[in-house]
Amino acid sequence: MGCADRVVLAYSGGVDTSVCIPYLKQEWGIKDIITLSVDLGQEDELGPIQAKALECGALESLIVDAQETFITNYGFRAIQANALYENRYPLSTALARPLISKLLVEVAEKYGADAVAHGCTAKGNDQVRFDLGILALNPDLKILAPAREWNMSREEAIAYGEKFGIEFSVKKSSPFSIDRNILGRSIEAGPLEDPMFEPPEEIYLMTKAIANTPDKPEYIEIGFEKGVPVSLNCQNLDSVTLISQLNKIAGNHGIGRLDMIENRVVGIKSREIYEVPALLMLIDAHRDLESLTLTADVTQYKQGVGDTYSKLIYEGLWYSPLKEALDAFISQTQDRVTGTVRIKLFKGNAVIVGRCSDNSIYSPNLSTYGADDNFDHKAAEGFIYIWGLPTRVWAQKNKR
């Protein structure tokens, strides 16, 4: 492995990324390591992480609060697209990777580093997202992924770190692999690898078990402006507050759990548990508001765009010409998606019970079965005659 002088390492404070520091220096001969820890709302204390990096031998340890950027430039885009990978996973982990990649590249350029590094292993999606994100933004930077090559078990990694005086407080680690940010939690591995194994209650942190949720429903109203959620119960909130509050409210009613088998980029199937209370509810509400404000053809065409969009986010192609082109389409459609969605939260369900918009193209006089009906009933017969012509010709030809 040809190496570098100065590396910027994406640093979480966990075992793998901590061990990366002595490993890169000792085994790959790197002189300077600058760590970058990005606050995406994972609720880790950043002070100790910063100190840990220096203790492990980093030259400098940087912390960046990117929660707002994460939500507005990544999360809200995904909501506007109604992005659900394989129709279910709202990409809470996947969306964080292009942002971290961007910050890594910016720091590398600012500090004159010739490489960036991450602690991803060889079987996951995240390595693909980091590598592609970094290389799309600066193809001249080297990308180092020591954990992809070192072949150490967790115990061996801990022992390796200890050789260089690094102490790990939680030696008996949880069997689960967990990724967390303000948009959600992803939990995999350990006993969950058996697809029949029911997730134990204690893995959930953002969502209550149904047995413990309130026995009365709660109603909320979410306001959208051009496809972006901006208010809760008529109160305008900044993006971080809005998402945090919605996570709490929905989580309290046990909303936002997913248990699925998904297809990874590297061809492996994996069993993943997600907690994504605010994000799932917002995508549902957003899609509903679109149904009130967009024409039928745009709604239906956009569904396919959303599928492609979620697949490319999952596959690490956030910085790509296709993504940009789809963004232009999606933005154009969102111009009209302003209004309010009313949701009833109860026992694990977020049921949309009402919606309104100044841009509504729902026409009561056309839709009604009542007296003020404007629809021209006589026109239906002629319409069906023309619309059904090909069917009539085909049926006559095939009649035995």
Catalytic residue numbers, as ranges? 16, 97, 126, 177
**Are 92 and 276 in contact, with CB atoms under 8 Å apart?**
yes
Distance from C-alpha of 78 to C-alpha of 81, rounded to nearest angstrom: 5
CB atoms within 10 A of CB 232: 17
**Are 112 and 145 in contact, with CB atoms under 8 Å apart?**
no
Residue 125 vs 207, nearer CB to ligand ARG: 125
- Chain-centroid distance of CA 152 in Å reads 29
Residue 223 vs 306, nearer CB to ligand ARG: 306
- Give counts: helices (H), strands (E), the chain: 14, 14
Per-residue interface string for the shown chain with ligand ARG, residues 298-337, x marking contact by CB under 6 A = ----------------------------------------
Residue 131 vs 272, nearer CB to ligand ARG: 272
Give min distance, CB of 101 to ligand ARG, in A: 14
What strand order describes the sheet that includes 142-144? 60-65, 32-39, 6-10, 115-117, 142-144
Give me 24's structure tokens.
């890169």
Distance from C-alpha of 305 to C-alpha of 94, rounded to nearest angstrom: 18
Residue 34 vs 94, nearer CB to ligand ARG: 94
Host H or E run for residue 296? helix 296-314
Interface region with ligand ARG, contact rule CB under 6 A, candidates 53-61, 110-118, 163-171, 175-183: 175-183
**Are 70 and 103 in contact, with CB atoms under 8 Å apart?**
no
Exposure letters 76-86 (e unless 16+ CB within 10 A, then b): bbbbbbbbbbe
Give min distance, CB of 188 to ligand ARG, in A: 4
Give min distance, CB of 274 to ligand ARG, in A: 8
Residue 77 vs 336, nearer CB to ligand ARG: 77
Give min distance, CB of 311 to ligand ARG, in A: 12
Give min distance, CB of 278 to ligand ARG, in A: 17
Give min distance, CB of 1 to ligand ARG, in A: 25
Interface region with ligand ARG, contact rule CB under 6 A, candidates 185-193, 215-223, 348-356, 375-383: 185-193
Binding to ligand ARG in span 71-110, by CB under 6 A = 93-94
Host H or E run for residue 207? none
Total chain residues near ligand ARG (CB under 6 A) = 10
Binding to ligand ARG in span 253-292, by CB under 6 A = 272
Q: Does position 121 bind ligand ARG by CB under 6 A?
A: no
**DSSP for 191-237, written as a single string:** GGGSTTSPPPGGG-SSS--GGGS-SS-EEEEEEEETTEEEEETTEE-
Residue 12 vs 338, nearer CB to ligand ARG: 12
**Are 283 and 79 in contact, with CB atoms under 8 Å apart?**
yes
List of residues contacting ligand ARG (CB under 6 A): 93-94, 125, 177-179, 186-188, 272
